[in-house]
Structure 1
Amino acid sequence: MANDIKLFYDLTAQETADQWYGEEILKPTVLDFVSLLPAKPRVLDLGCGPGHESMRIAQTGAEVLGVDFSGECISIARARCPQCRFEVMDFRDLDGRYGSFDGVFAAGSMPHLAPGEIGTVLKKIRSILTGNGYAAIIVVDGEGISEKFSNLEVDGRVLNRTFYLYTRKYITEEAKKAGLKFVREGYLDPIFHKYGWRNYIFR
């Protein structure tokens, strides 16, 4: 199943880049998040895809590292956003190899983690945050697996990119166990709220 998720993002990397590099609907979300951080912060874009939001974070003056397990996404990110650093990495393997960060931005990547994995990854996020660091965790509200977001057709084949729904209560409880404190909901355009997306800020 994890192979289906990776294959989905490999196959859709170019299309995603073409769509999202010119789409600024998440720019206010980025600006809201970066406003919490010190000047010229170091930010990790967790599950960065082809680097479109890494680019927008860097435009604020941040030093950005983007990680993703899709090699195709990282290749495109390196070509289209040379001002950022990108590395191929499954964020389940997140550790201190790249140092610490003032901010971790996870836009839509955490829903691919099963309930048994999300607490572990939140602990890893806490371990690489500076003492006053913040994390933005963007997920879709609910419980269980979303069929709508999971089973998608690409090039005539249906791929299961398993997409888990998480309530605010569940995420904040798991974050608390990981040593992260819920601060507030971060900004998201109303169209995202319409489809259940939520942005939770922790420190």
Structure 2
Amino acid sequence: MKTENEGQERLQQEASAFDRQIEERIANGHIPDLRLSKPCEYFYNNSWRHPAYVKIDFYEQFEVIRDAILEGLNRKPDEIRVLEVGCGPGYLSLELSRAGFHVVGLDISERCVEIASKFADEDPWIARRGSLEYMAGDFHSLPKLEKESFDVVVFLGALHHFQDQSATLKKAKDLLRQHGLVIAHEPARDRVTPAHAAFMHLLSSILSLNKNFYKHQELVVDRGQLLHEVGRIYNLLRYESEDGEKTQSINDNEAGFAEMYPELSGAFQQIRFEWRYSFFHEFIGGLRFDEETNVRVARFLKEMDRILVETEALPATEFLFVGRKVMEV
């Protein structure tokens, strides 16, 4: 059990990690906007590398979340108030506001919130948006977050950073109006297996033969070397170093699917659940064909990923949960 001081120190370290990350990205040409992103070679294996990948990956996530809100509430966007917890530099909150929702984006990183606000202020579609506000602070203690003041609480790749899932989802529930929705679109890195790593190494090794992947790999056949490389990739997919340390931030991977799902389904009435993808978003940014072929291969890998998940050839490593707040008896 962490003391209050230890908890605050971890939050500060978490904020600092994401302050540094977004500052470096922006300095290297990153535009965190789903509509206005540009090619950015700073990202060597990330969907933000090219607008086509952004559309295939991140814009589809927005569409899934937007549609889940509209289907779950059956109201017009301008009648719906949304809180995004862990909004980062704000691209999802911005796009939800462009869809007509009234949105509050919250993040622990003050620098992320500053950058999100800057891009929102410069948005060419600002006159046609729903309201949009960004806040920096701790989700659990920010006074501006009033009880029963939101229709939707969204976690996009943020819920797994919270160790105390019960307290976090109780807070989300308190913030929701009756029949409001919680939406969690989250990685489930506890479901990463050595089979994922072996498949990724197989695919990247074949592509690298003709320099069609971001890094060249010698095609080795020694079993010991292959097992070592599979182990290395396994750790990368789990966002861990070889000794088990977290590589992104101090609170990353605080919860896996085994911790998130029971608390989500216990706190909210489940109205939708689906396994999403397994590997493609960790891979497509590394493609190095010509531009047109890159996009075709990325789409192919995305659909093959879906098939591999549906046929249970590979476990999904991300999920979507939509739940409703209902009257407690």
Q: Same fold by TM (over 0.5)?
A: yes
Deviation at 1:127, TM superposition (A): 0.7
AA of the residue aligned to 2:114:
S
Bigger radius of gyration among the two: 2
> Deviation of residue 95 (structure 1)?
6.3
What residue number does 1:86 align with?
Answer: 134
**Worse overlay, 18-27 or 70-79:** 18-27
Residue identity opposite 1:132 in structure 2: H
Q: Which structure shows the bigger proportion of residues in strand conformation? A: 1
Query: Match for residue 33 of structure 1?
Result: 68
Indicate whether 1:164 and 2:254 are aligned.
yes
Give the equivalent residue in structure 2 for 1:77. Answer: 116
What SS is found at the alignment partner of 1:93? coil
Matched, 1:173 2:262: yes
Give deviations 1:7-48, integer Å, cap 9, x for gaps. 221012242792541332423223222322321210001110
Partner in structure 2 of residue 126 of structure 1? 173
Amino acid at match of 2:178: G
Query: Is 1:104 paired with 2:153?
Result: yes
CA distance in 2, matches of 1:11, 1:84: 24
Cα displacement (A) at 1:199: 1.3
When structure 1 is superposed on structure 2, of 31-40 and 75-84 the one drifting more is 31-40
Aligned-residue CA RMSD in angstroms? 3.1
SS at match of 2:177: strand
Tell me the secondary structure at the aligned position of residue 145 of structure 2: helix
Q: Of the candidates 9, 18, 35, which is equivalent to residue 18 of structure 2?
A: 9
Q: Which runs of 5+ in 1 are unaligned?
A: 153-157
Query: SS at the partner of 1:184?
Result: strand
Alignment-derived partner of residue 272 in structure 2: 184
Output one character per residue of 1:104-145: Cα deviation in whole Å (capped at 9) or x when no partner.
11101111112xx11101001011111121111122225499
Count how many residue pairs are aligned between Structure 1 and Structure 2.
Answer: 194
Other structure's SS at 2:152 match: strand
Q: Is the 8 A contact 2:162 2:255 kept in 1?
A: no
User: TM-score with structure 2 length normalisation?
Assistant: 0.51
1:66-112 per-position Cα deviation (integer Å, ceiling 9, x unaligned): 11010000001111113510111122336673451111111011111
Please list every run of 5 or more consecutive structure 2 residues that lacks an aligned counterpart in the other structure.
Answer: 1-9, 38-53, 122-130, 193-233, 242-246, 282-301, 306-315, 325-329
Map Cα deviations across residues 53-73 of structure 1 (whole Å, 9 max, x no partner). 001111111000011010000
What is the aligned partner in structure 2 of residue 136 from structure 1? Answer: 183
Post-superposition shift, 1:4?
Answer: 3.5
Equivalent residue, structure 2, for 1:155: none
Identity of aligned residues (%): 20
User: Aligned partners of 1:187 and 1:177: how far apart in 2?
Assistant: 18
